[in-house]
Structures are given as structure tokens and as C-alpha cells.
Amino acid sequence: MTDNTTIWKALQKHLPKRTWIPLAKIFATVHTQVLLDEEDLECARSHSATPRWESNVRRLLRTKTQSGSVLARKKR
């Protein structure tokens, strides 16, 4: 399974800084820039169609938001 450091480095290298980026573009960047293995491609949960790597990206972004490394748009 791809580790958070690999995902974070890919995001930092391939996405612009100090600008809001849609989650779909973040996912697309990870999907094209990171070599995902079979475990990454498995469903995160048996009742979900979401691949594990997408759940890991969401979790990583949430952690970075909580630490202040990433800013998130406020929910309306």
C-alpha cells in the first residue's frame, strides 16, 4: 500500500501552492503520478466502491488540515 509520504510528495510536486484545488483534481493527480498497487485499488470497505487510495488521500488531507499545513474551504 502506498504510504502517506509518497502521496504528499506527489501532491506537493504536481499541484500549485496557495490555491484552492478541487478534490477531483487532487484524486486525478494521485492517480496519474503515484504508482498504485493492488492493495491501493481494493475497496476501502466491503460495502463501498471507493478505492482504498482515495480514502487514504482524504485521511491525509484531513490530517494536514488539522495540523494547519492545508487550508480547507469552510462548509456553507
Nearest to 27 by CA among 9, 49, 54, 50: 54
What does the pLDDT read at residue 11?
A: 98
Supply the pLDDT for residue 72: 86
The pLDDT score that the predictor gives to residue 74 is 76
Q: Which three cell numbers stand for residue 30?
A: 494521485
Question: Which grid cell sits at 58?
Answer: 482524504
Confidence category of residue 76, pLDDT binned at 50, 70, 90: low
The pLDDT of residue 25 is: 98
Give the SS3 label for residue 72. coil
For residue range 9-68, what is the model confidence (pLDDT) as tens digits? 999 999 999 999 999 999 999 999 999 999 999 998 888 899 999 999 999 999 999 999
